[in-house]
Amino acid sequence: MAGVLEGVTAPRGFKAAGMSCGIKRSGRPDLSLILSEAPASAAGVFTTNSVKAAPVVLGGRLLAGDAANVRGILTISGVANAMTGSEGISDNESVLSEAERLLGLPPRSLLPACTGVIGPRIPVDRVLRALPALGTSLSSAPAAGAQAANAILTTDTVAKQSSVRVRLSDGTRVRVGGMAKGSGMIAPRLAALHATTLAYVTTDARATPQGLARILGAASEETFNMLCVDGDTSTNDTIYALANGAAGGADASDDPKLAEAFTTVLRSLARQVARDGEGATKLLTVNVSGARAEPDARAAARAVVASTLVKAALFGADPNVGRIACALGYSGAKIDPDRVDVSLGRPHGGVPLIVAGRPAPGLQNGTGRKVRELLRQLDEVRLDIDLHDGVARATAWGCDLSYAYVQINAAYRT
């Protein structure tokens, strides 16, 4: 595995396009298409929220129908198409049908996704008018992948892409590419089939729909499910994977090398989403080790990245180590408070923050001028937490809580 390429068009046999169809008042792109030249195996993981957006309901149905002959993903950004009832489903179906017709694809071969404001319906006419141009701009060039990645964004400030090349166990050289959007309404949930934000993974490896579902489920669990921006689990969260087999070779459904490549791509995307969380000024990575069992490691890591008070302290470069201990304490993880060690991870020095459950020397009285100065300079903060109670580990990603987060969310839409 080596060298980062681009996004979803990195694997062979995939094209992409992105453009503005006029949903966003800002004129920013809001219509995105990924297309596989040949029928692909597909898998999806969806939000566990019981208020599900129409595209989530429809996407689930389509995958339950025929997940072996999927041709692509059409994403509309600017509207969530949630709380739109049966009309929302029909709107999404109309748009997909017309896209399939224009592109000469079989019915029900495109998967839907939406992201944006909850409530409004899809402005179907605008989307239909834009589809011909979207189709003609499809390309396998890196720039087309970037355009598609750009067109799914909402409050994001940058597009998120990732890709890797990997040599499978049978010698086949394949590629895995991905794109994602995030920014707000992002929180991990415990259910196995749960995604956050929109993220798409393409590969030219060969896999069955069932195999792809296993790979995607496992990779999502330790990447997007360990991501938290604001604790709100969206109505629209979706991760799709497409495997078109264009690289040839045997069925790689059970090849750990393919699974590892999926995890690598989704981890990169999850970090990019955390980094670009609404209003974020710092990326927070929390590594927990020494947990009694993996669920404890995961719960501990998630509680720290999700803590409003840890996030606010991080924004203020405040080495308020009590808030870290507090979050570990209410995480639900089995911990012995007197054994917990926490340090600021390398490359930033391995500075101790908590030693055996007590504030590290120099931090007892809440001054910690040196650590404060260090935190102020960092735009990536890594906390290494050792629970000294076992061998299980987990990593979670989040960001700080800034004035800008409040501003964005108090005034989103105005």
Report the catalytic residues.
196
Binding-site member from 338, 347, 361, 377 for a second copy (CB under 8 A): 338
Site for a second copy in 268-307 (CB under 8 A): 306-307
Residues 387, 342: Cα–Cα separation, whole Å: 9
Q: CA 234, 235, 241, 242 torsion: positive or negative?
A: negative
- Region of 158-166, 269-277, 288-296, 331-339 interacting with a second copy (CB under 8 A): 331-339
Instruction: Report the b/e string of 304-338 with b at 16+ CB within 10 A.
Output: bbbbeebbbbbbebbbbbebbbbbbeebebebeee
Q: How far is the CB of 335 from a second copy (least distance, A)?
A: 6
Give the H or E element holding residue 31: strand 31-46
Binding-site member from 198, 265, 274, 354 for a second copy (CB under 8 A): 354
Binding-site member from 19, 23, 82, 392 for a second copy (CB under 8 A): 82
Please state the φ and ψ torsions of residue 179, each to the nearest 5 degrees: -145, 160
Binding-site member from 233, 253, 268, 285 for a second copy (CB under 8 A): 233
Q: Is residue 192 involved in binding a second copy (CB under 8 A)?
A: no
Residues 105, 244: Cα–Cα separation, whole Å: 15
Binding-site member from 9, 49, 202, 220 for a second copy (CB under 8 A): 49
Q: Is residue 102 involved in binding a second copy (CB under 8 A)?
A: no
Contact assessment for residue 7 and residue 146, using Cβ atoms and an 8 Å cutoff: yes
Q: Is residue 388 involved in binding a second copy (CB under 8 A)?
A: no
Instruction: Kindly report the three-state secondary structure assignment for every residue of 292-323.
Output: CCHHHHHHHHHHHHHCHHHHHHHHCCCCCHHH
Q: Is residue 406 involved in binding a second copy (CB under 8 A)?
A: yes
Compute how many residues bind a second copy; rule: CB under 8 A.
68
Binding-site member from 50, 65, 104, 377 for a second copy (CB under 8 A): 50
Q: CA 187, 188, 191, 196 torsion: positive or negative?
A: positive
Other Cβ atoms less than 10 A from the Cβ of 343: the count is 19
Q: Is residue 230 involved in binding a second copy (CB under 8 A)?
A: yes
Q: Is residue 183 involved in binding a second copy (CB under 8 A)?
A: no
DSSP 8-class letter at 145: H
Binding-site member from 284, 299, 313, 344 for a second copy (CB under 8 A): 313
Residues 325, 308: Cα–Cα separation, whole Å: 13
Q: Is residue 90 involved in binding a second copy (CB under 8 A)?
A: no
Note the residues at the interface with a second copy (CB under 8 A): 47-52, 80, 82-85, 117-121, 184-185, 187, 189, 230-235, 306-309, 312-313, 315-316, 318, 320-323, 325-330, 335, 337-338, 354, 357-359, 363-366, 401-403, 405-407, 409-414
